[in-house]
């Protein structure tokens, strides 16, 4: 038992023999600019008792764009070798500016548990890459227009920029909302740009108003984007043509109204009136000399026909003759004709023009009234048709020299009469 203990004294079991790697990073703080490269050396020593193979790998976010040269080395026990680590960050907004931790792992093939990791810090430099785009590039309007400004931050630092409108000719007023923008790396932001011409014009060809927008950010060169507005006249080019077409349409409508529609409407209304009078039992007066629509024409001077009396009619005493007015001057004339009463006639040498007739039947008498001119019936009305109201007619009647206008009645015509008005000429 003692001999066995002695035979094993001072020896380690094979699994406890010192193995693995020892690594030392020469530079633990490395500065690098995006789009460029930087290097750092790491020395690897085989701390084992057998020949071992070691693989070198960069850990962290920098591992995707960092390489070790050579990536694998073989070392005898106690030997060491330097491996160069090259960092190549891309010029991209995905690589933020500032410190970035990284690690270099040295893995042993013979003793994985003996692998080591060396840590360091990579100082990534900042860069700026700002672009701007105006949409639309050219706008149209009479009193103003609107544009959208898209600002894209492709750098790896936050963008703080102010927007200024440039117009050397001072023909445009700007309304920028917001006047300053903030954008993180790899993002875009937007601003609304209102354009308003300082002067307007009513007619003429469109005018081009050019302008520029400038983005200023601390530590960066300004970014300038150009645009333009096509200012149009207040009145469009088609306004005069449309106005002429509208006037032509109005004239055409007036012609259609006076030449076609109005005569049809008047004729239809006249026919309807005649139908109503016929249904009411009121006789429609026949056209008489000097009658018709509108003003009564002056009758021609004719020889007065001999007076013809109706059967049973007696001669009435002569009507007092009014005092004649000056020749060629119209003299107003009105009066009343009683049933079977005195007739009305014109002053010597003049003509009586009657324009309004009002028939009255205050006692609700029955019978027929006949309005006669020198024995000729002009109108025949039944008294039963206007017991409680008066009949008003606008019927031009001319009573020439030597003619008489009489109101005859058939039946009891108590208080029935006719009021007339007109003029003599």
Q: Which of 157, 107, 163 is nearest to 132 (CA)?
A: 163
Question: Tell me: the pLDDT tens digits for 383-407?
Answer: 887 766 666 777 688 998 889 898 8
pLDDT bracket for residue 299 (50, 70, 90): very low
- More confidently predicted of 307 and 236: 236
CA separation for the pair 353, 332 (Å, rounded): 9
Task: Tell me whether residue 1 is exposed, middle or buried, using C-beta atoms within 10 angstroms of its C-beta: 0 to 12, 13 to 18, 19 or more.
Answer: exposed
Residue 390 CA to residue 368 CA, distance in Å, equals: 15
Greater confidence, 187 or 361? 187
Report the pLDDT value the prediction gives residue 88, as an integer from 0 to 100: 96
Q: Round to whole Å and give the CA distance between 214 and 47.
A: 63
Which CATH architecture is the domain 130-231 placed in? Sandwich (2.60)
Domain boundaries 331-424, CATH class: mainly beta
When computed from its CA atoms, the radius of gyration of the chain, rounded to whole angstroms, is 60
How does residue 213 score in pLDDT terms, banded at 50, 70 and 90?
very high
Closest CA to 177 of 187, 189, 160: 189
3-class DSSP assignment, residue 197: strand
Q: Which residues are bridge partners to 354 per DSSP?
A: 397, 422
**The pLDDT of residue 284:** 63
Q: What is the pLDDT of residues 109-120, one digit of tens each?
A: 988 888 899 999
In this predicted model, what pLDDT tens digit does every residue of 405-419 receive, in sequence order?
A: 988 888 777 778 888
pTM across the whole model: 0.50
For the chain, the residue count is: 425
The rounded percent of the chain whose pLDDT value lies above 90 is 43
376/288 Cα distance (integer angstroms): 10
- pLDDT at position 205, please? 84
Equal CATH topology for 18-124 and 130-231:
yes
Q: Report whether 282 contacts 375 (CB < 8 A).
A: no
What is the pLDDT averaged over residues 245-263?
Answer: 89
CA dihedral 387, 393, 398, 404 (to 10 degrees): 10
> Residue 282: pLDDT above 80?
no
Q: Check: CB of residue 51 under 8 Å from CB of residue 74.
A: yes
Res 335 pLDDT > 80: yes
Q: 4 versus 418: which is more confidently predicted?
A: 418
Q: Which fold has domain 18-124?
A: Immunoglobulin-like (2.60.40)
CA atoms within 13 A of residue 370's CA, in its CB half-sphere: 14
Average of pLDDT values for 281-307?
Answer: 46
Q: Is the pLDDT of residue 274 over 90?
A: no
Collapse the DSSP code of 50 into the 3-class scheme (helix H, G, I; strand E, B; otherwise coil) and give the result: coil
| Domain regions of the chain by residue span | 18-124, 130-231, 331-424
Q: Which residues contact 306 (CB under 8 A, 6 or more apart)?
A: none
Please answer whether residues 357 and 305 qualify as being in contact, where contact means their C-beta atoms are separated by less than 8 angstroms.
Answer: no
Q: 292-300, long-range: CB within 8 Å, 24+ apart, which pairs?
A: 292/396, 295/396, 296/353, 296/355, 296/396, 296/397, 296/398, 298/351, 298/353, 298/398, 298/425, 299/351, 299/398, 299/400
Using an 8 Å Cβ cutoff, are 71 and 81 in contact? no
């Amino acid at each position: 038992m003692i001999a066995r203990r002695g035979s094993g004294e001072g020896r380690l079991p094979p699994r406890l023999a010192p193995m693995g790697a020892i690594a030392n990073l020469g530079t633990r703080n490395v500065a690098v600019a995006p789009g460029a490269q930087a290097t750092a050396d790491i020395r690897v020593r085989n701390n084992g008792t057998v020949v071992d193979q070691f693989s070198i790998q960069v850990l962290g976010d920098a591992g995707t764009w960092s390489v070790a040269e050579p990536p694998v080395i073989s070392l005898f026990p106690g030997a060491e070798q330097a491996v160069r680590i090259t960092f190549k960050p891309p010029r991209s907004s995905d690589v933020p500016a500032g410190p970035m931790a990284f690690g270099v792992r040295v893995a042993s093939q013979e003793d994985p548990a003996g692998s080591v990791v060396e840590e360091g810090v990579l100082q990534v430099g900042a860069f700026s890459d700002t672009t701007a785009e105006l949409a639309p590039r050219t706008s149209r309007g009479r009193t103003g227009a609107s544009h959208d400004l898209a600002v894209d931050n492709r750098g790896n630092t936050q963008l703080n920029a102010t927007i200024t409108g440039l117009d050397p000719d001072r023909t445009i007023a700007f309304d920028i909302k917001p006047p300053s923008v903030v954008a993180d790396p790899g993002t875009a932001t937007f601003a609304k740009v209102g354009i308003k011409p300082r002067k307007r014009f009513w007619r003429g060809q469109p005018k081009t108003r050019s302008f520029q927008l400038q983005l200023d950010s601390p530590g960066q060169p300004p970014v300038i984007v150009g645009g333009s507005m096509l200012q149009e006249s207040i009145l469009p080019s088609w306004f005069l043509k449309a106005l002429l077409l509208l006037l032509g349409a109005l004239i055409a409508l007036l012609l259609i109204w006076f030449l076609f529609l109005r005569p049809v409407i008047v004729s239809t209304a006249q026919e309807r009136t005649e139908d109503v009078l016929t249904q009411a039992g009121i006789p429609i007066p026949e056209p008489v000399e000097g009658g018709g629509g509108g003003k009564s024409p002056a009758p021609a001077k004719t020889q007065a026909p001999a007076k013809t009396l109706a059967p049973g009619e007696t001669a009435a005493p002569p009507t007092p003759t009014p005092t004649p007015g000056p020749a060629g001057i119209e003299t107003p004339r009105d009066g009343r004709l009683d049933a079977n009463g005195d007739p009305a006639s014109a002053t010597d040498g003049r003509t009586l023009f009657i324009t309004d007739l009002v028939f009255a039947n205050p006692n609700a008498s029955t019978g027929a009234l006949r309005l006669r001119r020198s024995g000729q019936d002009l109108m025949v009305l039944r008294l039963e048709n206007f017991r409680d109201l008066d009949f008003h007619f606008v019927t031009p009647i001319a009573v020439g020299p030597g003619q008489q206008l009489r109101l005859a009645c058939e039946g009891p015509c108590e208080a029935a009469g006719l009021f007339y008005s007109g003029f003599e000429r």
